[in-house]
Amino acid sequence: MIDVSVTLPNSIFVQIASYRDPQLIPTLLDFIHQARKPDLLRIVVCWQHAPDETIGQFWQQGFGKWRTEQTGSWTIQHLNYGGAKIELIDVPHMMSQGACWARNLLQQRYGGERYTLQLDSHHRFVDGWDTLVIDMLESLRDESPKPVLTTYLPMFDPENHDVRKGDEPRLLAYSSFSKDGVVVFRSKKLSDWRMRTRPVRTRFFSAHFAFADGHFAEAVQHDPHYFFLGEEISIAVRAFTHGYDLYCPHRLIAWHEYKRSYRVKIWNDHTQEAKERGDVEAPWTERNQRSFQRNRALLGVDGETLPQRDFGKYGLGAERTLADYEAYAGICFALRGIQKSVLNDEVPVPAAQRVSEATWKASLLRANDVRVCVHRNSVDKHALIPGIEQPLSAATSAVVAIFDNGDTELCRKIVDAGRLSRHRNSDWLDFHETFESELEQIPAYYVVELFDHAGNMLSRVRRTIDA
């Protein structure tokens, strides 16, 4: 915590987690240039960088007034640009413990600023973004004392002349329950946004754009035991139970880069081989699995639980309950259930309540994520046409049908040539199917049928779904 005696009006504590990202400096430059009042920005970056990424690269772009500070385990590089204050938490990239750990480290630097903004290190911004987000947040005070603006932003492409795809604000929407129990989101265009006069309620939280009162950085800190996936749904629930209300902005604020093809990710560095060499304490896969387990226990996914005291300050809040969030969001974590209003992307209703447990369950569908994975040997063994030695290679389309234990077909999907090509290599056909079924209909097995261009079935394989 940075001790400040006076909170400046409209001051913003900016949190940016950056892992070996060449877009960090361009993002900072655009962020500051497009702000109306850069002198009110205090930008703290968890700068997870390799040895060839040096402080000199900041100097070359005009960042100045350099000084260093030693705090705990880390050196803080203090810089200034255009009146904005920048603090780089200097973290050698092999010492990182993941995105949520980095975000938590940032939040320890909160110094009492009026607002806080959480970003990634690969963005572009509209002119006057700072006054825009403040005006939007303040417009909500008559219906929420603790609003949060958050969304998945439209994309830009730094490899294609900084192309920006779309100038329309986006709404967070449900995508699926992953096999590991994480609720995954997508974005869609916010309809009638030009006619809207204020932000729109949302169920979910985006880690790459969130703007709130400064106390949000203290009250709902990222759990450093999480790795990557799971952080957004956990923060959504924790924010809600701490009394915060989530909204999607109704005006465009910035663009986000999604491709990630140009930069090294932590899972490229923190491998099992790196652990065996002694370069990292744990590979990313271990951290990821522990994170999934912790997320399931926090939210009660599939009935998994831990006492809330085991989560400490990273547990649920006391102003609302998990059941309150589930009623508001139309999601049941224990049963992987979702309401049709969620599938239809309807705006959630504030203060929604469960009428009764029976009525609640009757309103839900089960969200399924089935991994379809068959090996070439199995396909060859069940080949139906003599003379075709490699049915998996010869197939131009497929059909997958998924059944419950009573042999009721729950889902049937055609896999066209393009999708078949993307998910097939010489030995495996491997992809996921997400779909909804009645709550009591649990997938038990699937059947894959492979076809040639003339529509002849080449092979038919049945596989049991692991629990």
Query: Is a pLDDT exceeding 50 seen at residue 436?
Result: yes
For 298-353, what is each residue's pLDDT tens digit?
999 998 888 888 899 999 999 999 999 999 999 999 999 999 999 999 999 898 88
pLDDT exceeds cutoff 80 at 165:
no
Set out the domains of the chain in order of their start, with CATH numbers: 1-362 (3.90.550.10), 370-464 (2.60.40)
| Residue 4 confidence (pLDDT) | 44
User: How does DSSP assign 274-319, residue by residue?
Assistant: HHHTTS-SS-HHHHHHHHHHHHHHHHTGGG----GGGTGGGS--SS
Mean pLDDT score, 67-75: 93
pLDDT band at 2 (very low <50, low <70, confident <90, very high): very low
Give, to the nearest 10 degrees, the angle between helix 231-241 and helix 284-299.
30
261-279 mean pLDDT:
92
3-state secondary structure 123-189: EEECCCHHHHHHHHHHCCCCCCCCEEEECCCCEEECCCCCEEECCCCEEEEEEEECCCCCEEEEEEE
**How much is the mean pLDDT over the chain?**
94
SS3 content of the chain, % helix, strand, coil (to 5): 25, 35, 40
What is the reported pLDDT for 1? 44
Using CA atoms, how far apart are residues 204 and 195, in angstroms rounded to an integer? 23
> Per-residue pLDDT tens for 412-434?
999 999 999 999 987 999 999 99
Helix axes 231-241, 322-329, angle to 10 degrees: 110
